[in-house]
Amino acid sequence: MLEQVTAVRYVDPLRAGGSVPGVVETDDLGTYVVKFAGAAQGRKALVAEVIVGELARRLGLPVPELRLVDFDPAVAAHEPDHEVQDILRASHGLNLGMDLLPGARDFRPGMIDVGPVEAGRVVWLDALTGNVDRTVHNPNLMVWHGGLWLIDNGAALIFHHRWSAAGAAVGKRYDLSAHALGGYGPDVRAADEELGPLVTVGLLEQVVALVPDAWLADEPGFDSVEELRRAYVHHLAARAARSAEWLPDGFPTPEQLHEAERQRAERTRAGRPAWLREVPDLSGKPSVETVWEQHVD
């Protein structure tokens, strides 16, 4: 099992994502970004976080330390937002914490140099686990001490949302053309040669064993938690063995991304009323066109 800690103070909600995780201090003197079992994404997002995050760690990719966080909503009684309180009240018990990286920044394409080998390893992992949520618009990567760190793997393992069709997805090639690292020329074939042989049944059994029983209980179509664990292992092992069928390719260049973003912006403006077409984006979030300019230059 992952190390378990107890929440002693709820600091603040993080509203950047739909799951509304929270910054929580715990009895090991740590500070964690906690994803709650009561959020809309439910327990399966936490299952994916553990399996993909711990698999990534064992393959040498940087992932913040994970902890099981025993959470009592009473420690967040001061939180004024009623919607956040609903999530917290539904999350009594075990939740998942990810070590807070102090001073880390959200990754944007072009902000640091990433080599084809490093980019390829991240893209390969996402292709293996069906994680289509690491895009130029939503990178789910942090930059800490000058290096990349993988966060937010909860959208991976798409197959476990419909086990009846999981077999047909073993060799599926997911569309990763908008991957956050696609413009860095990811060498996914080198990653496949390096990492593929490491994804053994034994390694997968170790990783899947880290998921708490409570998050796997009562899954329709399975007679026991252990049967469900074996299904995860079998699917990922079979998928790793059939990588020739799903290795992604054809990533757009930075120039192509630049042009695609320009066209998207034009279509957006064209769909506005005439009086809105010249209104600039006031969100403060840089567009893909903007963040790639530095990389192209």
Q: Where are the domains of the chain?
A: 4-102, 106-246, 258-296
- Report the distance separating Cα 126 and Cα 103, nearest Å: 25
Tokens of 288: 């893909």
What is the structure's pLDDT at 284? 47
Closest Cα partner for 48 from 60, 66, 30, 29? 66
Q: Which residues does 109 contact at the CB level (< 8 Å), separation at least 6?
A: 136, 139, 180, 181, 183, 184, 254, 257, 288, 291, 292, 295
What is the structure's pLDDT at 283? 45
The fraction of the chain above a pLDDT of 70, given in percent, is 90
One-letter amino acid identity for 23? V
pLDDT exceeds 70 at position 133: yes
CA 211-94-42 angle, to 5 degrees, is 75
Tokens of 185: 């020329």
pLDDT exceeds 70 at position 293: no
Q: How many Cβ atoms from other residues are within 10 Å of residue 237's Cβ?
A: 17
3-state secondary structure of 282: coil
pLDDT exceeds 50 at position 145: yes
The arithmetic mean of pLDDT across residues 251-267, rounded, is: 75
The fraction of the chain above a pLDDT of 90, given in percent, is 79
pLDDT exceeds 50 at position 290: no
Tokens of 274: 């005439």
Q: What is the mean pLDDT of the chain?
A: 90
- Report the distance separating Cα 181 and Cα 42, nearest Å: 28
- Report the distance separating Cα 235 and Cα 79, nearest Å: 41
3-state secondary structure of 4: strand
* 249 vs 168 pLDDT, higher one: 168
- Report the distance separating Cα 107 and Cα 280, nearest Å: 23
